Amino acid sequence: MSANAIPRCERVVDFLDHWCAIQPDVVLDEFDGVERTYRQVKRDVDACAASLLSLGIRPGDRVAMLTDPRPEFLTVFLALSRVGASWVGLSPRYTRSELEHVVVDSRPTMLIAVTPAGERNLSDDVHALARDSGSIRHVVSVGDVQSRAIPLERLLA
């Protein structure tokens, strides 16, 4: 297989590892003028995966993420692939009842939330989901979600 051939990978995160080995200093993503290379994304993904494991996330667990498209989404998505856990997507456009339906149905052990999302502040929805779900053990925040939430930066440290 040539260096630029697309490999067969079992997990989506294996693609990151493959391309990082070939072109570590190529820009993978950009948000608000901040670029990350494959090497930087891999570093963030590995740190996030280690933090998820330290918080008790295990293969087969589900982690819900309430966010719009941004680098944190990619980092968490790939870290969950590394751990063997499943990502559950929650759209900032969902109503509270739609958010509740997905959370009740999927029973995530962790909720990661980015608020505000656009013009909508989701703090009240995040509080309600964490309080009423019966399955969420940890809330991780990007932005101002709640005082007891774990800042996402801690997962990336």
pLDDT tens-digit profile of 50-108? 999 999 999 999 999 998 888 888 999 999 999 999 999 999 999 999 999 999 999 99
How far apart CA 106 and CA 122 sit, in angstroms, is 20
**pTM value > 0.75:** yes
Contacts of 62 (CB under 8 A, 6+ apart): 85, 86, 87, 88, 106, 107, 108, 109
pLDDT value, residue 148 = 74
Q: In angstroms, how far apart are the furthest CA atoms of the chain? A: 51
How many percent of the chain have pLDDT more than 70? Answer: 91
Rounded CA gap, 58 and 61, in Å?
A: 6
The pLDDT mean for the chain works out to: 89
Q: What is the pLDDT of residue 114?
A: 80
State percent of the chain over pLDDT 90: 62
Structure tokens at 126: 């995040």
Specify the CATH number of the domain 12-156: 3.40.50.980
Residues forming beta bridges with residue 91, ordered by sequence position: none
